[in-house]
């Protein structure tokens, strides 16, 4: 990228498989829905490329057909549509390819929870169009200097660019939101996505005999980022490197951890339309009203004094909910209530349903995905539980702090970077915001929740934790500026 591209504000193509408010399965959607807008506020020309799932096409207005791609390796025909992201107005490029994206279910799985068998082809198409738009083969006048890829679904963009003919290509940044998902497919898949056989080796896209979309990104991207500084360190070693630790340690000079921000407009207890009553740090009456409403809605005993513990999560091994299931019966010996909203692993889902049946009025479990209810839970519960085994960043612990709901978290990844454990020193300097446990054991989790319950009974400590958390700045401002600085560094390295 050449000198004038450096002095001007960067042009960025942000490639993502999900984006809030159009389509969301987890935190990547929240980040894709808010980081590009924050970067645009800093002056960068960021546009987002996303697949045209039914919810995406139904959720946008004023679509404009930009181009029709023919005879790509993945499909005979794909239409490129432009629109604006509802809310922030960020420009979108949407891939309309009904054969690959017009399906019920979520972006990655069919309604029964099984991965779509043609996921390699589906996300190769996302990556391919990303790579075309990031090179001089693009049919558009928008020519990005940076292509910013997110997770394995856009992981082969840097490899496709590396092997593409032509000289004018954007520099690539690959962000890892979760290294546990590596986009691993049989070796033969390489042919289908049009990458040359010579990249199928350790110094390339090969991963223990298979082809990994994510490894392609980690190997060929100009720079790698991940979503918290602590996780950037953790993934350079076992066990959280999930087999990629060697490559990541080797590239540590080009690996940066930038903590996620949150959308402080969407997640604002003083203006949240999903709450029955809004509130702020000086007037917490609304929080009690939301607790009452939540207890009523979920069939819990309507007792304002009983501490209410909340969980909103993918119900998976990563999130440590198996451990919570072990500890919950002991916690319930005391006067506490638990509300859980989530979907995921069928056996764990059933475990939580069983817990609710055994404790009517004390445990409420809703298996499903419900954005509005997730806001009401953040506002209505007293404590938020996030015992994740690993957590690249995590967003709910930040939402919780902003909603005056101190979180209980395991000391891992972004949870360590964003929650300050309460102790006499952190109480005195007003930095304490929650409860952190070190060892991923039932004993430690139980002890930590009991410590939190003791603090809950001490009004002064509790108010101080709530105030500290609600005053923290989790906005994108600083992290977006860090991305912008990184884009500039990457562009200058290309010169
Ligand atoms: P991850 O991306 O690993 O799932 P994050 O904490 O980064 O974890 O983000 C999860 C996001 O998804 C949060 O916005 C959370 O509120 C939301 N979420 C998770 N499960 C549900 C659910 N069942 N219903 C509504 N929102 C959910
Ligand atoms: C992933 C991670 C989560 C992170 C989110 C957004 O899904 O599991 O920790 O907050 O991506 O970056």
Answer yes or no: is pLDDT of 7 > 70: no
Q: For 7-16, 130-139, 195-204, 242-251, which range has the lowest pLDDT when averaged over its residues? A: 7-16
Q: Answer whether residue 276 is part of any domain.
A: no
Answer yes or no: is pLDDT of 430 > 90: yes
Count CA atoms closer than 13 A to 266's CA, side-chain side. Answer: 22
CA-CA distance, 355 to 245, in Å (whole number)? 38
From the CB of residue 405, how many other CB atoms can be counted at a distance below 10 Å?
Answer: 28
Answer yes or no: is pLDDT of 352 > 60: yes
pLDDT above 90: percentage of residues in the chain: 95
Tell me: do 311 and 253 sit in the same domain: no
Q: Among 174, 153, 180, which residue's Cα sits nearest to residue 390? A: 180
CA-CA distance, 289 to 11, in Å (whole number)? 46
In the three-class reduction of DSSP (H, G, I as helix; E, B as strand; rest coil), residue 442 is classed as helix
Tell me: do 106 and 10 sit in the same domain: yes
Answer yes or no: is pLDDT of 4 > 90: no
By most ligand atoms within 8 Å of CB, the mutation choice from 177, 342, 480 for ligand 2 is 177
Residue 259 is classified by DSSP as -
Residues 49, 18 contacting (CB under 8 angstroms): no
Q: Answer whether residue 139 is part of any domain.
A: yes
Answer yes or no: is pLDDT of 384 > 90: yes
Tell me: do 251 and 306 sit in the same domain: no
Q: Answer whether residue 211 is part of any domain.
A: yes
In the three-class reduction of DSSP (H, G, I as helix; E, B as strand; rest coil), residue 28 is classed as helix
Tell me: do 102 and 196 sit in the same domain: yes
Q: Answer whether residue 267 is part of any domain.
A: no
pLDDT tens track for 87-106: 999 999 999 999 999 998 89
Answer yes or no: is pLDDT of 315 > 50: yes
Sign of the CA dihedral with 262 first, then 22, 487, and 4 last: negative
| Token representation of residue 244 | 């990629």
Res 1: pLDDT: 41
Tell me: do 302 and 435 sit in the same domain: yes
Q: Answer whether residue 32 is part of any domain.
A: yes
Residue 396 CA: distances (Å) to CA of 120, 275, 472: 30, 16, 14
CA-CA distance, 369 to 341, in Å (whole number)? 7
Can you tell me the mean pLDDT for 222-231? Answer: 98
Q: Answer whether residue 272 is part of any domain.
A: no
Contacts 24+ apart (CB under 8 A), 287-293: 287/379, 287/380, 287/403, 287/404, 290/376, 290/379, 290/380, 291/380, 291/381, 291/382, 292/380, 293/376, 293/380
CA-CA distance, 421 to 439, in Å (whole number)? 14
Ligand 2 pocket, residue 28 CB under 6 Å: yes
Tell me: do 423 and 485 sit in the same domain: no
Tell me: do 32 and 179 sit in the same domain: yes
pLDDT tens track for 255-312: 999 999 999 999 999 999 999 999 999 999 999 999 999 999 999 999 999 999 999 9
CA-CA distance, 427 to 422, in Å (whole number)? 6
| Token representation of residue 391 | 């957590």
Tell me: do 484 and 465 sit in the same domain: no
Tell me: do 313 and 373 sit in the same domain: yes
Total of domains in the chain:
2
Q: Answer whether residue 59 is part of any domain.
A: yes
* pLDDT confidence bin for 445, thresholds 50/70/90: very high
Strand partners, 48: 14, 92
Answer yes or no: is pLDDT of 49 > 70: yes
Q: Cα 48 vs. chain centroid, distance in angstroms?
A: 16
From the CB of residue 250, how many other CB atoms can be counted at a distance below 10 Å?
Answer: 13
Residues 223, 248 contacting (CB under 8 angstroms): no
Q: What are phi and psi of 482, to 5 degrees?
A: -65, -40
Residues 479, 485 contacting (CB under 8 angstroms): no
Helices (H), 333-441: 346-358, 371-380, 396-402, 413-418, 424-428
Can you tell me the mean pLDDT for 42-60? Answer: 97
Tell me: do 256 and 387 sit in the same domain: no
100: domain CATH number is 3.40.50.2000
Residue 151 CA: distances (Å) to CA of 156, 336, 435: 10, 38, 30
Can you tell me the mean pLDDT for 344-370? Answer: 97
Tell me: do 312 and 248 sit in the same domain: no
CA-CA distance, 471 to 290, in Å (whole number)? 20
Ligand 2 pocket, residue 178 CB under 6 Å: yes
Q: What is the pTM of this model?
A: 0.96
By most ligand atoms within 8 Å of CB, the mutation choice from 19, 227, 476 for ligand 2 is 227
Q: Answer whether residue 58 is part of any domain.
A: yes
Q: Give the domain range for residue 186.
A: 3-261+477-494
CA 312 to ligand 1 center in whole angstroms: 6
Q: How are beta strands 223-226 and 171-176 bridged, if at all? A: parallel
Tell me: do 31 and 106 sit in the same domain: yes
CA-CA distance, 495 to 486, in Å (whole number)? 15
Residues 255, 218 contacting (CB under 8 angstroms): no
By most ligand atoms within 8 Å of CB, the mutation choice from 226, 266, 312, 397 for ligand 1 is 312
CA 306 to ligand 2 center in whole angstroms: 31
């Amino acid at each position: 990228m050449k000198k004038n591209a450096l002095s001007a504000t960067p042009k960025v193509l942000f490639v993502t498989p999900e984006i809030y408010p159009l389509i969301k399965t987890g935190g990547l959607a929240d980040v894709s829905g808010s980081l590009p807008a924050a970067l645009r506020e800093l002056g960068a020309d960021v546009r987002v490329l996303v697949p045209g799932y039914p919810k995406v096409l139904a959720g946008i207005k004023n679509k404009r057909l930009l181009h029709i791609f023919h005879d790509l390796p993945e499909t005979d025909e794909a239409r490129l549509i432009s629109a604006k992201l509802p809310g922030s107005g960020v420009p979108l490029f949407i891939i309309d390819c009904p054969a690959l994206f017009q399906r019920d279910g979520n972006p990655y799985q069919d309604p029964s929870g099984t991965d779509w068998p043609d996921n390699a082809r589906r996300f190769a198409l996302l990556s391919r169009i990303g790579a075309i738009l990031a090179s001089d083969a693009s049919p558009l006048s928008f020519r990005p200097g940076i292509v910013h890829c997110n997770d394995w679904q856009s992981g082969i963009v840097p490899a496709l660019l590396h092997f593409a003919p032509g000289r004018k290509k954007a520099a690539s940044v690959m962000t890892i939101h979760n290294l546990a998902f590596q986009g691993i497919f049989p070796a033969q898949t390489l042919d289908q996505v049009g990458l040359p056989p010579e990249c199928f080796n350790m110094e390339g896209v090969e991963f223990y005999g298979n082809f990994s979309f994510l490894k392609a990104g980690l190997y060929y991207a100009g720079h790698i980022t991940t979503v918290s500084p602590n996780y950037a360190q953790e993934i350079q070693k076992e066990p959280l490197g999930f087999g990629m630790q060697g490559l990541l340690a080797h590239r540590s000079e080009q690996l940066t951890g930038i903590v996620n921000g949150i959308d402080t407009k969407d997640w604002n207890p003083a203006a949240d339309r999903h709450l029955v009553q809004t509130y702020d740090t000086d007037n917490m009456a609304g929080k009690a009203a939301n607790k009452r409403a939540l207890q009523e809605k979920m069939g819990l005993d309507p007792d304002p004094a009983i501490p209410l513990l909340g969980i909103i999560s993918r119900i998976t091994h990563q999130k440590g909910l198996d451990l919570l299931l072990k500890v919950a019966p002991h916690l319930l010996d005391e006067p506490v209530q638990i509300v859980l909203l989530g979907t995921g692993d069928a056996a764990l889902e059933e475990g939580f349903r069983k817990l609710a049946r055994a404790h009517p009025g004390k445990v409420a479990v809703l298996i499903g995905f419900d954005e509005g209810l997730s806001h009401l839970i953040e506002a209505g519960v007293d404590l938020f539980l996030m015992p994740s085994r690993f957590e690249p960043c995590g967003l709910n612990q930040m939402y919780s702090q902003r909603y005056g709901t101190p979180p209980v978290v395991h000391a891992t990844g972004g949870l360590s970077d964003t929650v300050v454990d309460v102790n006499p020193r952190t109480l005195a300097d007003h930095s304490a915001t929650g409860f952190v446990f070190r060892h991923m054991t039932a004993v430690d989790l139980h002890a930590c929740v009991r410590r939190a319950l003791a603090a809950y009974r001490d009004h002064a400590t509790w108010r101080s934790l709530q105030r500290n958390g609600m005053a923290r700045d989790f906005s994108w401002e600083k992290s977006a500026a860090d991305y912008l600085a990184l884009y500039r560094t990457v562009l200058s390295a290309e010169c």
